[in-house]
Every structure is written in structure tokens, then in C-alpha cells.
């Protein structure tokens, strides 16, 4: 087995801290992942050369490249094309489904994001909000940070009067291991601008998000 070189997987920098710092868009080092997966199979006492497992390391490597593609993305690019509108009521996109990976266990958590903003002259295409969720979720994540990253990015890029982000997710690390609570839903919210300091505006957006549920 070749010595690990300082490969793309280590030398890149990323903006997973939400700083929006530019990312050097190196590719995920799939060969390195494949070697590591083979090691894991050996470590659990499996035979990585048996027929069913022979292609597993490469398959997992391709999957990780897909699941972590957001590390090499710059979500702010989706918000750079905006339209000037006098619309000054809440814009809400509900039920944006996403899949992410819990960075503590590298197990998926999945759910829905609800994103609202109160424009101050700038509106974006609604699908762009889903693109932002996609880029920010496809990284090793924790739900709390993901919620804040989305809110802060929208707030800065749209220069909105306020942004509200609510995320509801099921964490498979709580379903299949540990406390094993399959029914539990983790809800996080991040309020910025007017949604943070104005109680009635905050109530209005939460009613819009949760309103039609029984
Ligand atoms: Zn976890």
C-alpha cells in the first residue's frame, strides 16, 4: 500500500465554518477514502476481498464524494442574481427537503428546511433557496450550525430586513444507535433582523410555517 501523500483531502481549506471564505475546489480524494474503507472492513473482522465487498470501498468513496460535495461549493453564488422588487411582505419557502451527514457519527440526518425572509428591495428566485440548502447540507454538519449558516448567508447576501430559518430533522445516529429514539424530531431555528427583535413578525412567520398543521 502506498504511503499517504498530503493529498487533496488534507490540503484544501473550506468554509464549513460559515465564514464564506473562498474554497479551493479540489476534488474529494476518492482513492484515500477507498483505502480507509478497506481498513475499516479489516478492522471489524471482515474479508474485504470477498465477492460482495470487493467493490465496496470504491462505491463508498463515490458516495462520499457526492455527500460531501458541498464542502467545495460556494452557496453564495446562488444569491448573486437577484431582482429589484418593491415587495415588502414575508417570502417563505416551506418543506425544502435535505439530507446531511452528522459530523459526530458520519451518519445521515434528513428533514425539511423552512426559509423565510423579509426583503428590503432584493428578491431571489425561489429555487435558489433550495440550492443554498443543498450546498450547506452536503458537508459534515451539525443541525444547529447548518441552521445558522443558512440564515447568516441569506442575511448578508440579500441584505434583507430579516431572515428566519427553521429546520426539522431526524438523526439516524439517534435512531439506529445510542438512545434509539426513532420518533424524535430535532427542531432548530435561527432568527435574524426583524424576526429576532420584533415579536409580532416572528409570530407571523412561525404561524406561516406551522399554520396548517393539525
Ligand atoms: Zn450524530
User: How many CB atoms are closer than 10 A to CB 83?
Assistant: 11
The percent of residues in the chain predicted with pLDDT above 70, rounded, is 86
CB 169 within 8 A of CB 143: yes
Within 13 A of 170's CA, how many CA atoms are on the CB side? 9
Cα–chain-centroid distance for residue 25? 18
Cα(105) to centroid(ligand 1), Å: 5
* Domains of the chain listed by start with CATH number: 8-72 (1.10.286.10), 82-210 (3.30.1130.10)
pLDDT tens for residues 93-117? 999 999 999 999 999 999 999 999 9
> What is the Cα–Cα distance from 160 to 191, expressed in whole angstroms?
12
Cα(35) to centroid(ligand 1), Å: 24
Please tell me the pTM assigned to this model. Answer: 0.83
> What is the Cα–Cα distance from 163 to 149, expressed in whole angstroms?
11
Size of the chain, expressed as the number of residues it contains = 214
pLDDT at 176: 87
| Residues tagged active-site | 102-105, 143, 171, 173
pLDDT tens for residues 141-183? 999 999 999 999 999 999 999 999 999 999 999 888 877 777 7
Cell representation of residue 83 = 431582482
Cα(206) to centroid(ligand 1), Å: 27
Cα(109) to centroid(ligand 1), Å: 8
Cell representation of residue 185 = 424530531
Amino acid at each position: 500500500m502506498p504511503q499517504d501523500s498530503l493529498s487533496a483531502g488534507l490540503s484544501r481549506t473550506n468554509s464549513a465554518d460559515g465564514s464564506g471564505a473562498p474554497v479551493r475546489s479540489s476534488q474529494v480524494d476518492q482513492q484515500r477514502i477507498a483505502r480507509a474503507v478497506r481498513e475499516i472492513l479489516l478492522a471489524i473482522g471482515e474479508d474485504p476481498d470477498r465477492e460482495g465487498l470487493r467493490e465496496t470501498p470504491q462505491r463508498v468513496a463515490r458516495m462520499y464524494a457526492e455527500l460531501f460535495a458541498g464542502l467545495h461549493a460556494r452557496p453564495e453564488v446562488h444569491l448573486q442574481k437577484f431582482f429589484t422588487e418593491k415587495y415588502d411582505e414575508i417570502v417563505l419557502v416551506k418543506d425544502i427537503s435535505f439530507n446531511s451527514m452528522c459530523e459526530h457519527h458520519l451518519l445521515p440526518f434528513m428533514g425539511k428546511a423552512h426559509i423565510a425572509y423579509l426583503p428590503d428591495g432584493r428578491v431571489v428566485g425561489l429555487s435558489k433557496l433550495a440550492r443554498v440548502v443543498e450546498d450547506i447540507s452536503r458537508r459534515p454538519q451539525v443541525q444547529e450550525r447548518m441552521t445558522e449558516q443558512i440564515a447568516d448567508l441569506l442575511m448578508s447576501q440579500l441584505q434583507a430586513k430579516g431572515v428566519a430559518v427553521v429546520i426539522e430533522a431526524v438523526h439516524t445516529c439517534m435512531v439506529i444507535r445510542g438512545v434509539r429514539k426513532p420518533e424524535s424530531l430535532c427542531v432548530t431555528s435561527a432568527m435574524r433582523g426583524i424576526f429576532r427583535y420584533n415579536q409580532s413578525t416572528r409570530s407571523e412567520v412561525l404561524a406561516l410555517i406551522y399554520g396548517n398543521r393539525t
